[in-house]
Structure 1
Amino acid sequence: MLQELTDRAAITAVVTAYATALDTRDWAALGTLFTDDACWEYGGSGERICGPAAIVARISSGLERIDATQHLNGNHVAAVHGDEAEHTCYYQAQHIRHGLPGGDRFLGAGRYDDRLRRTPDGWRFTYRRITTVWSEGNPAVMTS
């Protein structure tokens, strides 16, 4: 039981490190959170990207033009099966881009569905799917 609790805490720490890397634009740290065979999906769009370098390139290209972000996670559920795990949590992600007609803010909320693997460097994502549930604000913050 102690190992399972330790693993769950470590998995939550990886999820938190992901959010922190996005908000601090620490792309090197973000890349270390994925296994070499990891895939990342943006649910509903059909977009699927594999490999840490390609994942980081996609995420960074989407966030570089935004002035600030804040990604918050909650309601973590992790199931550990030896050296493999599934995790899900909710997110709210605030995006700020100053000076846009229609407003500076866009708030997105949804769910992350993850698979992780224990590696010599700790737990790492092998798969992450982002599913948006709702949003509000100016969508041009994300696209202009």
Structure 2
Amino acid sequence: MPNTEPMTQRVELATVMDRLAVDGLVTDYAVAVDDGDWEAYRKLFTPDGRADYRSAGGIEGDAGSVAAWLAESMRAFAMRQHLIVNRRVRFGILERDTGDTAQVQADYINPMRLAGDGSAAPDFVCGGRYAFELRRTDDGWRLREVIVREKWRRAPQGSGVRVIN
């Protein structure tokens, strides 16, 4: 019987490296939104990448259109901080090569402060779950789809803010 231990170790190391890269991509997504770096946001997606923010009062569309919408919408908030936790990663198969796709389910809490509030504390908080669909490309892992599933929000009375994420 052939010794497959070195091969198994290589596969396990590759899986760990992919998990780290996927985790980094999700973190880069949160940082791009929080920092308002819409060029970085666009670069996180595949050319056909899409995002769906409808459950949070937003839009669904290609990454460029959504980035433009976010740039306008996020002006309402002087501070944003996405905390993305409980990341569940599942690797899939594309063209018979294991590991070319990934699904990530992750919970989020997103404290924000409305522009013009003047305080340091967040006055607007929401939470929910992301569904990320990723694809391995020649440039590394990229987002093919992001779906926001907002579960709750706390907003100041009379703020009229609909767009939160």
Question: If the TM-score is normalised by the length of the shorter chain, which range does it land in?
Answer: 0.7 to 0.9
Letter of the structure 1 residue corresponding to residue 91 of structure 2: V
Structure 1's 24 and 65: CA in aligned 2 closer, same or farther, altered over 3 A?
same
Where structure 1 has 5 or more consecutive residues not aligned to the other structure, the ranges are: none
| Deviation digits for residues 60-104 of structure 1 (CA, Å, limit 9, x no counterpart) | 12112311111111000111122111011011111101339xx96
Q: Give the conservation status (yes or no) of the 8 Å contact 1:66–1:95.
A: yes
Q: Give the conservation status (yes or no) of the 8 Å contact 1:43–1:132.
A: no
Structure with the larger strand share: 1
Q: RMSD in angstroms over aligned alpha carbons? A: 2.3
| Deviation digits for residues 19-44 of structure 1 (CA, Å, limit 9, x no counterpart) | 11111111111111011101111253
1:127: which partner in 2? 145
Q: Give the conservation status (yes or no) of the 8 Å contact 2:126–2:150.
A: yes
Equivalent-residue separation in structure 1 for 2:58 and 2:68 (angstroms): 17
How many residue pairs are counted as aligned between the two chains?
141
Deviation at 1:126, TM superposition (A): 0.4
Where structure 2 has 5 or more consecutive residues not aligned to the other structure, the ranges are: 1-11, 93-98
Deviation at 1:137, TM superposition (A): 2.8
Matches within 5 A, 1:38-57: 38-44=49-55, 47-50=59-62, 52-57=63-68
Q: Percent identity?
A: 29
Letter of the structure 2 residue corresponding to residue 137 of structure 1: A
Question: Secondary structure in 2 aligned to 1:17?
Answer: helix
Large movers: runs of 4+ above 4 Å: none
Q: Give the conservation status (yes or no) of the 8 Å contact 2:111–2:122.
A: no
Structure 1's 104 and 80: CA in aligned 2 closer, same or farther, altered over 3 A?
closer
1:76: which partner in 2? 87
Q: Give the conservation status (yes or no) of the 8 Å contact 2:109–2:128.
A: yes
Deviation at 1:13, TM superposition (A): 0.6
TM-score after normalising by structure 2: 0.77
The yes-or-no answer on 1:96 pairing with 2:113 is yes
